[in-house]
Chains A and B, each alone.
Chain A
């Protein structure tokens, strides 16, 4: 038998714990809400300073207070169902229809390109070519084809948002690994079964990434369409306010508009969390 000697000290006084503080840099230890408030205060403070010292003309940049006052005015108009709400509703409709159209076309083209060799060889090159064009430049064409109404804005919004959805869907269909493909083959799965039961669910994270980028694009498309094609939407209100040098109004309209974009984005993100429940949360706006 071996006798083991323990290294526990016999005398209680000799014990000295090896405890030490791990250093965390101050900037990494700030709680989120304090950090966010801090950035907000610095931003508004700088804004206030720049305007109150007359460094920038009020026509170019209104004071934070003026902007806030105008936001309250616009908010009241929206809340009481004024003309601004009518405009906002037009823009929201453009965004909804544009996004729905982009999803339908983008997803179909994505499946064609991602699933078939024909699509990859014959359709993808043209899609890439169109995607590299500045799509906003098509706005006058859409107006010529579809008129000054909501249709031309829907078309431009959908046109911009379609491409990321195509790319996301096609990339998603390529995401399944060799083992999964081989497994489906050994199970005697048809092409349709492989697509629906394996490739599409595997590719959902990429598809949703495409949808999120599309959601951002659809907003830009609707507003740009209104800038360039007239109509009665929110973009028109912004354009008119800017032409009257009513800068506080421009700012507050943009802020309300950003709420619409944010809501659309959050709807997509919420749907993603429900549908792709197995996906781990990652930091970042486009792949979360």
Chain B
């Protein structure tokens, strides 16, 4: 493990609240749709939280508010004791697509957030760190390769590095591996778990897959649509580190069934 990279990003002790949302609501004025209603949520240092729900349950709205991309209509959004009023460098984000830029090599893509915030000189200084991160995700030797030559899974690994380069206090993951085939997806999920544990990262994952949510998370926020709200927060007390074999255990099945039941109920409404 590389200590230079894997230090404590947010500076908070494990288990301390990092991201706190209190009574957050979002109403889109244009069509008066209530996308979110009174959502309260606490992400603790080093924890992995997933949000799951049918489409229209407001999970992308929630994620955008947490990323500082859109403002809430009501409620408090506090990250590391500072209200989130726009994009911040202590928020790392990852999308369904790797979104690497084809005119930049892997390392150049990874230091892009530094280049944007601090300029080219700072980006150059961050190159060493980018190399270390690439090694952590198993892409050593691919530093100077262009994204066209990377597979889907490798591209997503590189985009993990890009997310980590600014040492964010919270990682927002918007269905990061849903574009991959199932085998790569399982593998990448295990990789994600390993990286999060090494970095003591606080992660927040939006997903459509119940299995994925259960295998990765400490807490699963189940949401219901119209208006988007939290139906239940399910705690997953499977031991860490999780393995793919756990997916066949009765306990795993119980949790999956419970969540599926919750989601089906949501559909009837």
Contacts and interface: CB of A to CB of B under 8 A. Distances in A.
Interface of A: 177, 179-180, 182-189, 193, 197-198, 201-202, 277-278, 280
B97 A278 contact: no
Contact of B88 (A184, A188, A202, A277): A188
A186 B96 contact: no
B93 A183 contact: yes
B71 interface: no
A197 B102 contact: no
B146 to A, nearest CB: 6
B95 interface: yes
Q: Interface majority SS on B: helix, strand, loop or mixed? A: loop
Interface string B47-86: 0000000000000000000011100000000000000001
15 contacts: A177-B97, A179-B96, A180-B101, A182-B93, A183-B99, A186-B67, A186-B87, A187-B87, A187-B113, A187-B117, A188-B88, A193-B116, A197-B115, A197-B116, A280-B148
A112 to B, nearest CB: 24
Contacts of B86: 188
Contacts of A186: 67-69, 87, 91, 93
A189 B89 CA distance: 11
B101 A201 contact: yes
Contact of A188 (B87, B101, B146): B87
Contacts of B93: 182-183, 186
B17 to A, nearest CB: 22
Residue among B87, B117, B146 facing the most chain A CB atoms (10 A cut-off): B87
B95 A184 contact: no
Contacts, number: 49
B95 A182 contact: yes
A189 B86 CA distance: 11
Contacts of A177: 97, 99
Nearest to B94: A183
B10 to A, nearest CB: 18
A201 B101 CA distance: 9
A73 B242 CA distance: 83
B264 to A, nearest CB: 30
Contacts of B99: 177, 179-180, 183
Nearest to A275: B103
Contacts of A193: 116
Interface string B221-239: 0000000000000000000
Nearest to B103: A201
A182 B163 CA distance: 13
Q: What range describes how many residues of B lie at the interface?
A: 20 to 34
Nearest to A194: B116
Nearest to B98: A179
A207 to B, nearest CB: 13
Contacts of B148: 278, 280
Contacts of B146: 278
B35 interface: no
A39 B116 CA distance: 55
Nearest to A183: B99
B222 to A, nearest CB: 25
Interface in B106-158: 112-113, 115-117, 146, 148
A280 B102 CA distance: 11
Nearest to B69: A185
A159 to B, nearest CB: 32
Residue among B97, B99, B148 facing the most chain A CB atoms (10 A cut-off): B99
B103 A187 contact: no
A183 B101 CA distance: 11
Contact of B116 (A180, A187, A201, A278): A187
Contacts of B88: 188
Contacts of A182: 69, 93, 95
B126 to A, nearest CB: 13
Nearest to B162: A183
A137 to B, nearest CB: 41
Nearest to A202: B101
Given A177-B97, A183-B95, A184-B116, 7 more contacts: A179-B97, A186-B69, A186-B93, A188-B87, A188-B117, A278-B103, A278-B146
